[in-house]
């Protein structure tokens, strides 16, 4: 079978040193940016929490301030599926579902010691 990287037959030799190095470089960048993104999320959450507290304390859904509308609006609903499933079907059924679920496979590329 061919892939987006090569149209040649897939063999161990079709994995090149350059591909491995690029994979590791990109994965390192991904982790670095993910750490930065988590830091931004924490800062955003702090500010958003402050905005929410102001709106709640003022008993408002919307506030106009400095040329901006700061609002609490309905978003997507995220039910806690596992908790709801356990509540409805019971813990034994939840355990059966978990035991019968196939784990996902993750690709890991590490240097050999």
- The pLDDT profile of the chain, 113 residues, written as one tens digit per residue, is 556 777 778 888 888 999 999 999 999 999 999 999 999 999 999 999 999 899 889 998 888 888 888 988 877 766 678 888 889 999 898 888 888 888 777 756 666 77
- So what's the pLDDT on residue 82? 81
Distances (CA, A) of 109 to 11, 25, 29, 37, 105: 17, 11, 14, 23, 13
pTM for the whole thing?
Answer: 0.56
Cβ 55 vs Cβ 61: under 8 Å: yes
């Amino acid at each position: 079978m061919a892939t987006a990287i090569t149209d040649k037959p897939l063999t161990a030799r079709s994995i090149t040193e350059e591909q491995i190095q690029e994979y590791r470089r990109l994965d390192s960048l991904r982790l670095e940016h993910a750490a930065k993104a988590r830091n931004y999320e924490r800062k955003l959450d702090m500010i958003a929490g402050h905005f929410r507290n102001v709106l709640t304390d003022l008993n408002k859904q919307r506030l106009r301030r400095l040329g901006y509308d700061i609002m609490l609006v309905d978003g997507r609903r995220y039910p806690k599926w596992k908790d709801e499933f356990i509540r409805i079907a019971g813990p034994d059924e939840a355990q059966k579902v978990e035991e019968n679920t196939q784990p996902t496979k993750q690709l890991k590329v590490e240097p050999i010691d």
